[in-house]
Amino acid sequence: MQTNTFRRERSIPGRSVDPLGLSPAGRIAAHAALVVAVVAVCLPFLWMLLTSVKVPTDIFSGRFWPSRFAWDNYVRAWESAPFGRYFLNTAFVSIATVALQLATCSAAAYAFARMPFFGREVLFYLLLATMMVPEEVTLVANYVTLYRLNWLDTYQALIIPWGASAFSIFMLRQFFAGIPDDLEDAAKIDGCGRFAFFWRIVLPLARPALTTVALFALVGSWNAFTWPLVVTNSQEMRTVQVGVSFFAQDFGTNYTLLMAAATVAVAPVLILFAAVHSQFTEGIARSGLK
């Protein structure tokens, strides 16, 4: 009854109803808080962009706005190291990691969500417990394992250890668990087996969640620094984040070239997020995460 009344109120021409029940002063305060939050988030990116086109004297004088725009900083940064190779390595590793995570995590999440078996809940809670273990705790053990496999300074070392993610499994499991059982029963009546139901019905319905998982995996792989730094030795295997650290040396840091390289490194991720942000938001909402 309240829902119908609310809908009728919203349909009255010239009258707006705030679904949060805020007063005009409350709405102004909420918008002001959002503006402050947006400025706080965007300010570091603005500082990075402005620093990337400054001259060195602007850095040490403390100027926020460049005295002149030195666009050649991007050319100098690109030529200072083999960034073309770094980008190819990072793109290949990121795409391979995303593909591997989508395959392994979707299968594991489907098993945890819709396939009853002995010890399922215990295994799921153990999986969640691994999310509380810091990466630094397992760094040495993983390094020794790769050394014994003779995988150091190879693509396998950059991809295989991140081929599955407890968070991705948890997120997809939440989405798969929300699919109605009646849909699975109807598929069984039509002769659809478990794998066919997973491949032909569940995965197409889970496109927003899969997009969200893929974006998380891509950003994590693209921004990875510690692990590629540890397991790679040659320039041919370095990733872009390790390459950016080239400008921070023991004898000094070239901040203008460092920020130019950082801007180029982060640009692909920002463009990708802008392209898929609607599906990313839908995947977060429909999986029950906040």
Q: Per-domain residue ranges for the chain?
A: 2-52, 73-286
Position 3 confidence tier, pLDDT thresholds 50, 70, 90:
very low
Percent of the chain residues topping a pLDDT of 90: 35
What is d(CA 95, CA 221) in angstroms, rounded to the nearest whole number?
9
> Residue 288: is its pLDDT beyond 50?
no
pLDDT of residue 21: 67
pLDDT of residue 20: 61
**pLDDT tens digits, one per residue of 145-180:** 999 999 999 999 999 999 999 999 999 998 898 888
The CATH number of 73-286 is: 1.10.3720.10
pLDDT of residue 253: 72
Mean pLDDT of the chain: 84
> Residue 289: is its pLDDT beyond 90?
no
DSSP letter (8 states) at residue 68: S
pLDDT of residue 67: 83
**Is the CB of residue 153 less than 8 Å from the CB of residue 237?**
yes
> Residue 49: is its pLDDT beyond 50?
yes
Q: Which of 154-163, 186-195, 267-276 has the lowest mean pLDDT?
A: 267-276
**Is the CB of residue 256 less than 8 Å from the CB of residue 185?**
no
Q: Which of 12-21, 84-93, 223-232 has the lowest mean pLDDT?
A: 12-21
What is d(CA 133, CA 269) in angstroms, rounded to the nearest whole number?
27
pLDDT of residue 121: 92
What is d(CA 52, CA 72) in angstroms, rounded to the nearest whole number?
10
pLDDT of residue 212: 87
Is the overall model pTM greater than 0.85, yes or no? no
> Residue 217: is its pLDDT beyond 70?
yes
> Residue 144: is its pLDDT beyond 80?
yes
**Is the CB of residue 64 less than 8 Å from the CB of residue 54?**
no
Rounded average pLDDT over 213-220: 90
Percent of the chain residues topping a pLDDT of 70: 86
pLDDT of residue 12: 47
Distances (CA, A) of 22 to 1, 3, 37: 22, 18, 19
pLDDT of residue 60: 78
